[in-house]
Structure 1
Amino acid sequence: MALDSNEHSDKSISKFESMLRTDDVYFFDAEDFEEIIHHYLNNGKISLGKKAIQIGLEQHPNSLELKLLQVEVLAFEDKYEAAEKLLDEIQNLDAYNEEIYIQRANIQSKQDNHQEAVNLLLEALHLTEDSFDIHSLLGMEYLFMDDYERAKRSFMKCVEFDDRDYSSLYNVVYCFEFLEDFDGAIHYLNDYLERNPYCEVAWHQLGKMYYAMDMYPEALTAFDFAVISDDSFIGAYFEKGKVLEKLGRYNEAIENYEATISIDDPTSHAFLRLGKCHEKLGNTDLAKYYYYNTVHEDPLLDKGWLAITDFHYSLKDYEKALYYINKAINIDGDNPLYWKKSAKIYFALENYDEADFAYKQTVDLGNYELSTWKNWAETLKRMGDLNSSIQVVTQGLEFYPENPELTYKLAGLYLKNGEMAEAKKKLAQAIQLDMDKLQLFDEEFPEFSEIKWVKSFVSKIKKTST
């Protein structure tokens, strides 16, 4: 009985390794060496792959395929000059071998010469009818060049060659996403599903596109078909749960998240979503149980720590909220979201000194959100440090130069600090930016809204603004 290819390959590898152990010399066909070398290279055993190439070329010195594998290893080891020299030798023997151009393209790509790599791959396309791998390589080069339109077309050609090439299918959808062409992605996937109606991967991707466009009923249908196509497809259950959450159908969402746990080991993301659903349903103990499991499963998942902190914060249990956010900070002290949450809790506890420190850390770590500047300035105002509060708002306005809320706040702070000229200038600017938000100024600084000169000034500015 003839050996199948895998058995033959295994037998060749065993025979080769036996030869290395005993120092005996066995003869192999060139094709056997190719299989042996591919096996070692694919499994990251580079030294054994190089040994097989050396012995293979000793037994078959004229084998172009073995020489091309040697080029591949040289390129992997960044020995580009030696690889190019060997390719020149091979090209003198076989000028029309497309693999020569593919290897040259690989060398150029590794040196970030992506346009030259594309040119070489296009040359290779002219030399072969078996162009699947070349289109895939072209797609990757175009991605390196941020040319998502051409990358998309290359990966589409791969899918045309092989409907089951899910890697290329994912890349096509990725390109559509990056181009923000969700309609195009939906049209493409629907066309694909006309030909492959039971492809769970395509249904899953289609559902994600509908979800991105807030088309939740359509997304739900797509994920349903993904599950019908493969009832063990964890990703489809998880995404379906997210859609059901958006639709407010929390019990059904829970069923889908629980399905992911029953199929495979539970994930922190599934625990987190289960906690969110139970919290929405008012199942406090279950919400707490799943949030605790979230951070236990993955202590580095920031969303888990923020969820368990928010949970206790919503119950006004600020001490426990502080305990958990401090645990998060001890794990990852460079996460600005943790520091911002910490500042919010300290503010609720009226511990303004610690809140001030936490907001400073938040900004130092790169969080420049509008709410950060507003809340930090408010913290300093509560501390009575008006100069620092003015400084923070001024800094915030560098990021949000035409924000009326910050501008009204700055006008009020100048008034409280007795800087009337600056107060008038900022109040006039704020009214011109958004007259309707004047009520925010009245609410935050009620002590000024009834002062005669302020009322007169506001009235004057309003008239000149209309």
Structure 2
Amino acid sequence: MREENYSEDNKTFDRWLQLYNEIRTGKSAAFLEEDAFLEIIEYLDETQSIKKATEAVNIALEYYPFSSAILVKKADYLIVEKHFEEALNILEQASIYDNHDINIIILKTDAFLGLEKFDAAELELQEALESFQGEECVDMLFELADVYDDYEMFDKVFFCLKSVLNIEPSNEEALYKICFWTEFTGRNEESITLHHQIIDENPYNELAWFNLGAAYQGLKLYEKAIDAYKYAVAINEKFDYAYRNMGDAFMRLRKYKEAIEVLKRTLELTRPESIIYEAIGYCYHKMNNGDNARYYYRKAVHLSPTESKLYYKIALTYMDEMQWEQALKSIETAMVFNQSSSDYDLVKGECLMNLEQYTDAIHCFSIAVENRPKSVTAWSYFIRCLYYAEDYQTTAEQALYAYENAGKKTLFLFYHAFALYAMGQVKDALIYLESALNQSPKQFKKVLELNPSILQNSSVVDLLARFRKSSK
């Protein structure tokens, strides 16, 4: 029966289209009803072009000059063509015939925004909100939210969605959308107040609890966020996004065991995602469980085989265990997919340095320094590697250069002093060592591992002893 009706409808529409084409070409003065014209206009819009749809609108207005619906269509196309003033005139005419058409308000607002008459658009909105109620008002607010989004008036988008929820606190579309716009606009406090009101009215609204948690998370109130997410999953134990966000909140609190538990629950409820495996791997890494960390990082790699940071993180787990060969293989794989990361150059350099491949290590560190000339970390690795390579002259020169060009950090004076000492320039070394100790005595321990035997020199020991006495 449905097929018969569908076939009959098609025949009727084909007949309308035939009559319209006869009217358009002047072959006939046939009569078409208003609804038929509207369907033809919609058809031409979707299947051919706005130009042909506009032509149909103009022909339809010759037959139905007082049709609000057809006038609205004409205004819509005028706005597409950026003829905003003309569109407003048409919409004023349409409102005379039907002042309860939401589309008129939406298009007026769009036209005002196109003319950058933001106050007029705002006034139109306020007046409309007083005129419409219930479901019609909700529909209008959603449409206006889209308009504001198009014109990048994002706070207004949030306002529209908030207004929807004031009318219909359990409107799922608004609850889903306002979560994103809360984060985007940073209106977390406002969102917290709104969702508390919704929860007071309906304490079993899982989306409201989730949004409340997300707003708390936006303010870095992670304990409160977790509490809200726990209510959400108590209402709906399969709410995977609540588990996901809860896992992130636990990670922020460095509660890695709890984070792993809820993130694994997320994997049970939804399709595996690289980002979830990566997060679990990160938690295990922070718990010094390298084997499990690598297991989950590799599961992430299986889903995202060209994601360089995953190989980088695997390298870090090997470095923690001083498995330099394995770490080097992983970081070189990362660099296949991303050759412009200074962090990767530093890690590769550190692996090579610990494997005593100093020439290659120095090359990596020099690239990192070139890319990040103000980085104390990059300079520190570079200079230490030069020292380990026993190129003490270059070590001394680069340490002074780094001191002058990377923030006058005392650490570089210590490096310079140690390099001078290694070259046998003990007097000069003692001068720089004393200067460095006066600025930051605690950093001496950071460089002592370069040459612990320096403490066997009586002059150095005397200097350290004098400094200790003067600092008491």
> What TM-score, normalized by structure 1, do the two folds share?
0.71
**How far, CA to CA, are the matches of 1:191 and 1:151 in structure 2?**
20
Separation in 2, partners of 1:206, 1:334: 40
1:106-138: per-residue Cα shift (whole Å, max 9, x none)? Answer: 435xxxxxxx45334224335422572587368
Matched, 1:236 2:242: yes
Aligned to 2:230: 224
Question: Structure 1 residues 456 and 318 mapped into 2: Cα distance closer, same or farther (>3 Å)?
Answer: closer
1:119 to 2:119 alignment: yes
Which residue in the other structure is 2:360 paired with? 354
Shift in alpha-carbon separation, 1:244–1:184, aligned structure 2, 3 A: same
Question: Which of 98-107 and 223-232 deviates more?
Answer: 98-107
Conserved 8 A contact 2:274-2:299: yes
Query: In the superposition, relative to structure 1, how do residues 385 and 106 fare at CA in structure 2: closer, same or farther (>3 Å)?
Result: farther
1:132 aligns with 2:138: no
SS in structure 1 of the partner of residue 128 of structure 2: coil
- Percent identical: 18
Per-residue CA shift, 1:36-81, capped at 9, x if unaligned? 74x998xxx685555444433432365321122213432xxxxx4x
Please list every run of 5 or more consecutive structure 1 residues that lacks an aligned counterpart in the other structure.
Answer: 75-79, 109-115
**Alpha-carbon separation, structure 1, partners of 2:342 and 2:152:** 31
**Which residue, out of 67, 75, 98, partners 1:68?**
75
Query: How many Å apart are 1:238 and its aligned residue?
Result: 1.9
Structure 2: distance between partners of 1:339 and 1:271: 25
Deviation at 1:430, TM superposition (A): 6.4
In the alignment, which residue of structure 1 is the partner of 2:56?
55
After superposition, residues 60-459 of structure 1 pair within 5 angstroms as 60=61, 62=65, 63-74=70-81, 80=82, 83-84=83-84, 86-87=86-87, 89-90=89-90, 93=93, 98-99=105-106, 101-107=108-114, 116=116, 118-129=118-129, 130=137, 132-133=141-142, 136=145, 140=149, 156-163=162-169, 164=171, 165-166=174-175, 168-171=177-180, 173-174=182-183, 178=186, 186-211=192-217, 216-243=222-249, 246=253, 248=255, 250=257, 253-277=259-283, 287-364=293-370, 369-383=375-389, 384=391, 386-387=393-394, 390-391=397-398, 394-395=401-402, 398=405, 401=407, 403-410=409-416, 412-413=418-419, 424=431, 428=435, 431-432=438-439, 434-442=440-448, 444=450, 446=452, 450=457, 452=459, 459=466
Note closer, same or farther for the CA distance 1:167–1:241 as it changes in structure 2 (3 Å cut).
closer
Question: 1:317-343 CA distances to partner (integer Å, 9 max, x unpaired)?
Answer: 322222222222112223333333222
Q: Post-superposition shift, 1:268?
A: 0.6
Change in Cα spacing, 1:249 to 1:279, as seen in structure 2 (3 Å) is: closer
8 Å Cα contact 2:434-2:463 kept in structure 1: no
CA distance 1:92–1:199, change in 2 (3 Å): closer
Q: Decide whether the 8 Å contact of 1:159 with 1:169 is kept in 2.
A: no
> Does the 8 Å CA contact 2:76/2:87 hold for their aligned counterparts?
no
Q: Is the 8 A contact 2:416 2:429 kept in 1?
A: no
**Distance verdict in 2 for CA 1:93–1:216, change over 3 Å:** closer
**1:128 match: secondary structure:** helix
Give the drift of 1:313. Answer: 2.9
Whole-Å Cα distance in 2 between the matches of residues 262 and 256 of structure 1? 10
What code does the residue aligned with 2:237 have?
D
SS, match of residue 339 in structure 2: coil
Alpha-carbon distance in 2 for matches of 1:12, 1:390: 88
Give the 3-state SS of the residue equivalent to 1:60 in structure 2.
Answer: helix
Letter of the structure 2 residue corresponding to residue 220 of structure 1: I
> For residues 100 and 155 of structure 1, what CA distance do their matches in structure 2 show?
19
Cα distance between partner residues in 2 of 1:256 and 1:15: 58
- Give the equivalent residue in structure 1 for 2:134: none
Structure 1 residue 415: Cα displacement: 6.0
Matches of 2:430 and 2:79, distance apart in 1: 70
Select the structure of larger CA radius of gyration: 2
Tell me how far apart the structure 1 counterparts of residues 176 and 321 of structure 2 sit (CA, whole Å). Answer: 46
Counterpart residue identity of residue 341, structure 1: V
Flag the 1:317–1:247 CA change in 2: closer, same or farther, 3 A: closer
8 Å CA contact retained: 2:41, 2:57? no
The 8 Å contact of residues 305 and 328 in structure 1, kept in 2 or not, is answered as: yes
The residue aligned with 2:101 is: none
- Provide closer, same or farther for how the CA distance between residues 106 and 143 of structure 1 changes in structure 2, counting only shifts above 3 A: closer
Distance 1:73 1:424 in 2: 76
Contact 2:109 2:121 in 1 (8 A): yes
| Alignment-derived partner of residue 113 in structure 1 | none
**CA 1:99–1:368 in structure 2 vs 1: closer, same or farther (change >3 Å)?**
same
**Residue aligning to 2:100:** none
Return the offset for 1:12.
8.4
Q: SS where residue 198 of structure 1 aligns?
A: coil
C-alpha contact (below 8 Å) 1:64/1:90 kept by paired residues: yes
Which range moved further: 361-370 or 325-334?
361-370
- 1:377/1:393 contact within 8 Å kept: no
Distance of 2:182 and 2:141 partners within structure 1: 18
**Corresponding pairs, count:** 433
